[in-house]
Amino acid sequence: MNLPNRLTITRILLVPVLIIIYMFPYADFGIEVANFHVLNTDISLVNLVILVIFIVASFTDYLDGQIARREDLVTTFGKFVDPIADKLLINTIFLLLASNQVINIIIPIIMISRDTIVDAIKMSAASKQVVVAASKLGKLKTVTQIIAICMLLLNNFPFSALNIDVATIFAWIATVVSVISGIDYFMKNREMLMETM
């Protein structure tokens, strides 16, 4: 297994680690989680650990793509697993945040539904030897999702000092961009999808 694929697998393996750290019943085991108070914002140590792991995992996504292209290590396995790793990572964190009512559950439901539809479009295209290229809107979706997750894990720091919930606003922006990019994928491939109707 080459280095880019190892990085992708590492990203997938970090997902259950994130779930365990976030969902672990610390109080039941008498563990007091440290909280840091900065500019009227309480940020738990758990959130900071999750944030660091998420940033590292997100960086591996950038790194494996760069290495694969530079060293000509692009593989069929990598093309298959890389988008799965990305969606597992981001959607899992949004679901964890929704489980704690940090965000509305509608946000991850919409994002997961969009991803399911786009993946179906790509699978349909692949069965006809048609390559569906990544769109700029799709990349914008990922960027807005990453920003939203970072801000949510930091409890809206530093905007909490201004009493402006920028983190939630960004989460909804990421949701809207997600929907628009999904519609864009459908519209660009509608002829292929409708040809046998």
Positive or negative: CA dihedral 122, 72, 85, 167: negative
Q: Per residue in 45-77, pLDDT tens?
A: 999 999 999 999 999 888 888 888 888 888 878
The set of long-range contacts for 21-24, using a CB threshold of 8 Å and a minimum separation of 24, is 21/46, 21/49, 21/50, 21/53, 22/46, 22/50, 22/96, 23/96, 23/99
Facing residues of 36 across strands?
A: 43
Domain with 31, as residue range(s), is: 3-194
Q: What per-residue confidence (pLDDT) applies to 155?
A: 95
Indicate the pTM of the whole model: 0.91
d(CA 172, CA 147): 12
Q: What per-residue confidence (pLDDT) applies to 122?
A: 83
Q: What per-residue confidence (pLDDT) applies to 196?
A: 55
Judged by phi (left if over 0) then psi (alpha if -120 to 50, else beta), residue 72 lies in left
d(CA 94, CA 144): 13
The tally of domains found in the chain comes to 1
Q: What per-residue confidence (pLDDT) applies to 16?
A: 96
Q: What per-residue confidence (pLDDT) applies to 133?
A: 66
Token representation of residue 26: 């610390």
What does the chain come to in residues? Answer: 197
User: The domain spanning residue 65 has which CATH number?
Assistant: 1.20.120.1760
Among 77, 69, 81, 86, which Cα is nearest to 138's?
86
Token representation of residue 123: 């699978």
d(CA 158, CA 6): 35
Confirm if 146 and 26 have CB atoms less than 8 A apart. Answer: no
d(CA 4, CA 71): 10
Instruction: Identify the three-state secondary structure at position 42.
Output: strand
Parts of the chain with a pLDDT under 50: none
